[in-house]
DNA sequence: GAATTAAGGATATATGTTATCCGCGAATGG
DNA sequence: CCATTCGCGGATAACATATATCCTTAATTC
């Protein structure tokens, strides 16, 4: 059970977009260069964010991406689910139905007890991600990243933002 | 991010093994028939349980598997990790190191803030699974599965247990 | 000694992830 | 108006992992 690397990419990109001044956009090219990622493939992750309405886009030179709403209203779960999908990590194939001791056509009233536990764990995972906002990440980064790196990074970004 | 179907298989098999009388074993063949699963491939899942010392085995006719300890001392997490591995679902590739604004050779004091959140969610998932014991599953099943199916299933199993 | 079992290696197939390339239409700037 | 820049989506390929089967070996039972 391993998340796509696109999840990591999307989270880092959103953290950068959160620091953009209002009304400006940042292109895939800039985001790819900043993180050392393959531009074409990163583009797929950003398209996922766009389809989930987490970001807005504009075309042409000086076009690119910006957040569709304040970073305090975007959760980790929003971003993770946009890229990874909303499907649960455990899929129940109902193997209890193969039990040869079952009467034919017997119908279960509840989902399988095994699945219920696995889904509960899945919910715990999602709840943790739901409680963390993108703005929390930005706060943490602004505390932990050395001020000179933080500053020069956003100078680098602003030079490329449209 | 999807768990292997072997996780589902292992959990169901352990639930059956938990109902075996002391000292008896149940073979891969019986477990595969009971759940309608491919015998050879299910065998790989059971081997994982064996390597994790969750079950004990014996060879020859009337051989097979039994739990290595009481079902109250085996957690869902034990079984899931035996099959799925203990690696975290999120792997941090440290793309912050690719930031062109970083001084060469700069070393981070902490793991990436993005990774820390993702790992926290992973821990929440694991904690949920850690808190549920195999004996809890058996309790739930014995309440929910209709008594006649429950009984006939274990008659079926006992007929094949060595 | 014959049958049965778990264990593990080798191999094949299917699916999913990672990645690249291309063409389209929209927007920008000259 | 035109060349460039962009997001978007489709097609495709390389690679890894999951799923599945087959076979051999050694241990055990009867």
Residue A10 has pLDDT above 90, yes or no: yes
Rounded CA separation B156/B34 (Å):
9
Instruction: Please give the share of chain A, as a percent, with pLDDT higher than 70.
Output: 100
Instruction: Please give the share of chain B, as a percent, with pLDDT higher than 70.
Output: 100
Sign of the alpha-carbon dihedral angle for B32, B38, B40, B42: negative
Amino acid A62 CA to nucleotide C27 C1' distance, rounded Å? 9
Give pLDDT, residue A104: 87
Q: What is the mean pLDDT of chain B?
A: 97
Burial of A98 (0-12, 13-18, 19+ CB in 10 A): middle
Q: Give residues 54 to 73 of B whose Cβ lies within 8 Å of A.
A: none
Amino acid A62 CA to nucleotide D6 C1' distance, rounded Å? 8
Q: Where are the alpha helices (DSSP H) in chain B?
A: 5-17, 28-35, 39-51, 76-84, 113-131, 134-144, 147-160
B64-67 and B55-58 beta bridge pairing = antiparallel
pTM across the whole model: 0.95
How confident is the model over A126-145, as a mean pLDDT?
A: 98
Which of A32-36, A83-87, A101-105 is the least confident region?
A: A101-105
Q: Which of A106, A120, A155 sits opposite B128 (nearest CB)?
A: A120
Q: What is the mean pLDDT of chain A?
A: 96
Give, to the nearest 10 degrees, the angle between helix B5-17 and helix A113-131: 130
Give pLDDT, residue B104: 87
How confident is the model over B141-155, as a mean pLDDT?
A: 96
Residue B162 has pLDDT above 90, yes or no: no
Structural domains in chain B, CATH included, are 5-87+134-159 (1.10.10.10)
Sign of the alpha-carbon dihedral angle for B73, B17, B32, A98: negative
């Amino acid at each position: 059970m391993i998340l796509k690397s696109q999840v990591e990419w999307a989270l880092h990109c959103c953290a950068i977009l959160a620091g953009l001044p209002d009304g400006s956009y940042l292109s895939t090219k800039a985001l790819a260069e900043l993180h050392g990622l393959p531009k074409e493939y990163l583009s797929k992750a950003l398209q996922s964010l766009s389809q989930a309405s987490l970001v807005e886009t504009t075309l042409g030179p000086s076009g690119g991406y910006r957040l569709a709403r304040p970073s305090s209203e975007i959760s980790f779960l929003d971003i993770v689910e946009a890229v990874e999908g909303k499907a649960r990590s455990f899929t129940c194939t109902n193997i209890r139905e193969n039990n040869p001791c079952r009467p034919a056509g017997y119908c279960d009233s509840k989902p399988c007890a095994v699945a219920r536990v696995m889904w509960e764990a899945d919910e715990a995972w999602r709840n943790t991600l739901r409680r963390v906002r993108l703005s929390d990440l930005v706060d943490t980064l602004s505390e932990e990243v050395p001020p000179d790196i933080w500053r020069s990074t956003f100078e680098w970004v602003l030079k490329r933002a449209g």
